[in-house]
Chain A
Amino acid sequence: MIGTLRTMLIRRILVTIGIGLVIILLSSFGLRLFEAVSSLRSAPHDNVQWTLAQLEVELLTLMNSTLSNNQKTVELDELRKRFDVFYSRATTLTRGKVFAELRTTPKAAPAVRELTNFLTRTTPLIDGPDQQLTLALPTLRNELEALRPAVRELSITGVFVFAKLADARRIAFEKLLLSASLVAVGLIVLLAITLAFLYRQFRISKERSKAVYRSSQRQIATINASLDAIVVINEQGEIIDINEAATEVFGYSRDQALGADMADLMVPQQYMDAHLKGMKRHRQNGEKKVVGKGRVELSALRADRTEFPIELSIGEAADKSGTIFIAYIRDISSRIVVENELTEARDKALQGERAKGEFIAVMSHEMRTPLNGLLGVLDLLRQTELNGRQRQYLDIANSSGQILLQHVNDVLDLSRMETGKVRLASDPLDLGTIVSGVVDLNRPVAQANGVRLVSTIMAPQAVLAGDTHRIRQVLMNLVGNAVKFTQEGQITITVDILKEDDFGAEIDMRVKDTGIGIAADDQARIFGDFVTIDPTYNRKVSGSGLGLAICQRIVRAMGGEISLESTPGLGSCFSFRFKLPHWGTGVYEDSSPKRLKPDSTAVIESLDILLVEDNEINRFVAREMLQRAGHGVTEATNGLEGVDRAQARTFDLILMDISMPGMDGIEATKTIRSGGGPCRDTTIIGLTAHALPEEQKRFKQAGMQYCLTKPIRIETLQDILIKVNARSATDTSVEARDDEDEVMLDGNLLRELASSLKPGMFEKVVTNACLEFEKGLPDLSAAWERGELQALALLAHKLAGSAAIVGATGFHVKLAAIEIACTSDAPRLEADLRSLDNLSQATIRALRSFVGSTPQS
Chain B
Amino acid sequence: MFHLLLSPTISFIAATLFAFGALSADLKTPDNDIVLNITGAIGNTNADGAAQFDLQMLQALPVTTFDTSTIWTEGVHKFSGVSLYDLLETVAATGKSLKAIAINDYSVELPASDAVKGGPIIAYMLDGKTMSVRDRGPLWIVYPFDQERNYRSEVIYARSIWQLRDIEVID
* Among listed B32-40, B59-67, B156-164, interface-contacting one: B156-164
Q: Is A98 part of the contact surface with B, judged by Cβ < 8 Å?
A: yes
Interface string of B144-171 (1 = CB under 8 A from A): 0000011011100110001100000000
Would you call A95 and B132 a contact (CB within 8 A)? no
Compute how far the CA of A91 lies from the CA of B133 in the bound complex, rounded to whole angstroms.
12
Say whether, besides A46-B71, A96-B71, A98-B72, A84 and B152 are in contact (CB < 8 Å).
Answer: no
CA distance A58 to B105 in the complex (A): 11
Q: Which of B91-126 contact A (CB under 8 A)?
A: 103-104, 106
* A38 at interface, CB cutoff 8 A: yes
Q: Which of A41, A84, A96, A97 contacts B133, CB < 8 Å? A: A84
Asked whether A42 lies within 8 Å of B71 as measured between CB atoms, the reply is: no
Chain A 85-99 interface 0/1 with B at a Cβ cutoff of 8 Å (1 = within): 101100110011110
Among A82, A85, A88, A91: residue with most chain B CB under 10 A: A88
Q: Is A47's CB within 8 Å of the partner chain B?
A: yes
**Which A residue's beta carbon lies closest to that of B75?**
A97
Determine the chain A residues whose CB is within 8 A of the CB of B132 once the complex forms.
84
Does A81 lie at the interface of the complex (its beta carbon under 8 Å from any beta carbon of B)? Answer: yes
Kindly provide the distance from the CB of A51 to the nearest chain B CB, expressed in whole angstroms. 9
Residues of A within 8 A of B31 (CB): none
B71:A81 contact, CB within 8 angstroms: no
The chain A residue with its CB closest to the CB of B155 is: A43
Q: How far is the CB of B70 from chain A (nearest CB, A)?
A: 8
* Chain A, 42-74, CB within 8 A of any chain B CB: 42-47, 54, 58, 61
Which residue of chain A lies nearest to B133 when distances are taken between CB atoms in the complex?
A84
Chain A interface mostly helix, strand, loop or mixed? Answer: helix
State whether B104 touches A42 (Cβ < 8 A).
Answer: no
Q: Name the residue of chain A whose CB is nearest to the CB of B104.
A: A85
- Nearest-neighbour CB distance to chain B for A769, whole angstroms, equals 132
Instruction: Looking at the assembled complex, report how far the CB atom of B73 sits from the nearest CB atom of chain A, in whole angstroms.
Output: 6
B163: chain A residues within 8 A (beta carbon): 85, 88
B3 interface residue (CB < 8 Å to A) = no
Residues in A neighbouring B129, C-beta threshold 8 A: none
Please name the residue on chain B nearest to A91 by beta carbon: B134
Shortest Cβ distance from A120 into chain B, in angstroms?
A: 12
Q: With A38-B149, A85-B104, A88-B163 given, is the CB distance from A45 to B71 under 8 Å?
A: yes
Given A38-B149, A85-B163, A97-B71: A43 touches B104 (CB 8 Å cut-off): no
Contacts known (A87-B134, A88-B136); A44 close to B71, Cβ less than 8 A: yes
Q: A84-B132, A85-B103, A88-B135 are in contact. Are A46 and B149 (CB under 8 A)?
A: no
The complex places the Cα of A61 from the Cα of B134 at a distance, in Å, of: 16
Most buried by A among B104, B149, B153, B163: B104
Known: A41-B150, A88-B134, A95-B74. 12 other contacts (CB 8 A): A42-B149, A43-B157, A45-B154, A45-B157, A46-B157, A47-B157, A54-B106, A61-B104, A84-B134, A85-B133, A96-B72, A98-B71
User: What are 24 sample pairs from A and B whose C-beta atoms fall under 8 A apart?
Assistant: A38-B149, A41-B149, A41-B150, A42-B149, A43-B153, A43-B154, A44-B71, A44-B152, A45-B71, A46-B71, A46-B157, A46-B158, A47-B154, A47-B157, A82-B104, A85-B133, A87-B133, A88-B136, A88-B163, A95-B74, A96-B71, A97-B72, A97-B74, A98-B71
The 8 nearest A-B residue pairs measured at CB: A42-B152, A84-B133, A87-B134, A96-B72, A43-B154, A46-B157, A98-B71, A85-B104
